Structure 1
Amino acid sequence: MTLTPVEVRHLELRRGLWGYRRSQVHRTIDEIADSFEAVWRERSELGERVHELETEVARHVELETLLRSTLVSAERAAQEMKEQARREAVVIVSEAGAEGRRLVRDAIAEKEQLLAETRRVRTIMRAALEVLSEGQERSEEDGDDEADATPPHVAEHPAARPEADRLAG
């Protein structure tokens, strides 16, 4: 039976003729010693448990610190990846814009080249038609209408007329 400090303080021992009764005093001292021993053992066990818990808390604090630093590193890496992706996107958009401008320049140059080629072909066709017209006029003057004359189906063909005539008609 464990005794509390209050019970020990209020303990009443019976008195005998020459003082307290020895057997009761010895029994009470044994009870106090047993109680003290139980408390001492419990205190020791609790001290060991406190030490274990402090070690576990230290391990958890260490783990928490590691997790925090890992989280900070992951956040930093994610931010760096976002920034790198943004920079790459800017470069891609810039390159796409440059490529688009180059394609437009090439298309404009090709258009100009085709227009120049069209003008050259028109000039050649006009010159050829003028030569044919002059040849036809000469043959009419010489009286040789049938030999050098352009057949009517060719003269009436749209390709035989100058481009300006076709556009106007």
Structure 2
Amino acid sequence: MKLTPLDIRHQEFSGAISGYSRKEVREFLEEVSDFLEEVLRQNQGLEERIQDLERRIEEYRQGEEELRRTVISAERISHEIKANAQKEAELIVREAEAAKEKLLREGIQKSREIRMEIEAARNERAQFLAQYRSLLRSFLELSEQYEN
């Protein structure tokens, strides 16, 4: 049976010959009623506080779940960025190595061409000197013929 403070205040007892003092019973019922009213008010406040705390706990759980998803997503993105950076670095290294190899081949080829040009210039110089000496000998022979 559920009692309210109002039920206690208005409770009536049947009379008896050697019963309790009606005034004392009434005062006691008033005190019990006041006490029950205060307990019910506190209980209502505590129930409201419990509901508020349960709501806040649910909000925190949702926030925690969202944070967990965010952290997992951030970790996944971090791994993807790292993997992409690694792939890009490897690609850059491969391209740099290919460019180095190309430059080396071109340098070797250019070096060969320069050596050939130097050799050709030496041959032309030797040929020029030989022709020049021959021409000088011819002039010397001619000059000797005119002297005699």
Shorter-chain TM-score: what band?
A: 0.7 to 0.9
Write out the 4+ residue segments of structure 1 that deviate beyond 6 Å after TM superposition.
none
What is the aligned partner in structure 1 of residue 138 from structure 2? 138
- Hey, what does 2:4 align to over in structure 1? none
CA distance in 1, matches of 2:36, 2:72: 52
Higher relative contact order (CA 8 A, sep 6+): 2
The percentage of aligned residue pairs carrying the same residue is 30
Unaligned runs of 5+ in 2: 1-15
Aligned-CA RMSD value: 2.1
Deviations 1:24-51 (A, max 9, x none): 1121112112111111121112111111
Structure 1: distance between partners of 2:88 and 2:36: 76
Deviations 1:5-63 (A, max 9, x none): xxxxxxxxxxx971222211121112112111111121112111111110111011101
- Residue deviations 1:62-106, cap 9 Å, x none? 011111111221122122111111111111111111111111111
Partner Cα distance (1:101, 1:85) in 2? 24
- Aligned positions of 1:89-128 closer than 5 A: 89-128=89-128
Shift of 1:115: 0.5
Matches within 5 A, 1:53-64: 53-64=53-64
Alpha-carbon distance change, 29 to 96 in structure 1, aligned in 2, over 3 angstroms:
same
Task: Compute the displacement of 1:145 (Å).
Answer: 8.5
SS of residue paired to 1:19: coil
Cα distance in 1 for partners of 2:144, 2:122 equals: 29
The amino acid of 2:103's aligned partner reads L
The letter of the residue matching 2:120 is: R
Task: Work out the CA distance in 2 between the residues paired with 1:45 and 1:84.
Answer: 57
Q: Secondary structure at the match of 1:18?
A: coil
Alignment-derived partner of residue 42 in structure 2:
42
Q: Deviations over 1:100-132 (max 9, x none)?
A: 111111111111001101111111111121122
What one-letter code is carried by the residue in structure 2 that aligns with 1:96? Answer: A
CA separation of 1:106/1:30 partners in 2, compared to 1, >3 Å: closer, same or farther? same
> How many residues in Structure 1 have an aligned counterpart in Structure 2?
131
Q: Distance in 1 between matches of 2:24 and 2:145?
A: 167
One-letter code of the match for 2:127? Answer: A
Q: Which moved more, 1:22-31 or 1:106-115?
A: 22-31
